[in-house]
Amino acid sequence: MSIAKGGPDNLIVIGIQNYGLSIFDGKIFKNFTSEDGLQDKRVTCADIDSEGNIWVATDGGGVFKYNGESMEHFDVEDGLASSEAFAIYIDDYDKVWVGTFGGGVAFYDGEIKNFVPDNVIEMFKKKMEGKKEWIF
């Protein structure tokens, strides 16, 4: 299960493996299915950027971005090294980092353009010890 809170509307996002995604706006829960554009309910992680876009990592379906109205999908065809995404992190500059199974770490700032090999992940873990928690 993954829980994120933030964005301009202070939303709460809950992603549950094999159940999908729910967004709570303070009054109402909205549950997302394939009819809403979330084509993979195996949600592994979710995060919210400063504009309120919700980013969702899935176990086999790639990454989804929900802008409040529609869902955008990113997968291997878009440059993601693996469609099995297990971690997503949005940094202080709204850059999106995606940890994948077997494909390393993808970086997104408008286009998927940087990939970090798996062996660099250990370097990140060591560098981040005692700081803001990152899980890749």
Q: Is 134 a domain residue?
A: no
Average pLDDT over residues 48-56: 96
Q: Is the pLDDT score of 65 beyond 90?
A: yes
List CB contacts of 50: < 8 A, sequence separation 6 or more. Answer: 6, 7, 8, 94
- Could you tell me the CATH number of the domain that includes residue 73? 2.130.10.10
Q: How far apart are CA 75 and CA 20, in angstroms?
A: 18
The total number of structural domains in the chain stands at 1
Q: What is the predicted pLDDT for the residue at 114?
A: 54
Per-residue confidence band for 135, with pLDDT thresholds at 50, 70 and 90: very low
Look up the domain containing 72 and give its range: 2-128
Do 18 and 42 contact (CB within 8 A), yes or no? yes
Q: Is 136 a domain residue?
A: no
Q: Is 99 a domain residue?
A: yes
Least confident of 73-77, 88-92, 120-124: 120-124
Q: Is the pLDDT score of 136 beyond 50?
A: no
List CB contacts of 3: < 8 A, sequence separation 6 or more. Answer: 12, 13, 14, 15, 46
Q: Is 112 a domain residue?
A: yes
1-41 pLDDT, tens per residue? 899 999 999 999 999 999 999 999 999 999 998 999 999 99
Per-residue confidence band for 125, with pLDDT thresholds at 50, 70 and 90: low
Q: Please report which residue ranges of the chain form alpha helices under DSSP H.
A: 121-128
Q: Is 135 a domain residue?
A: no
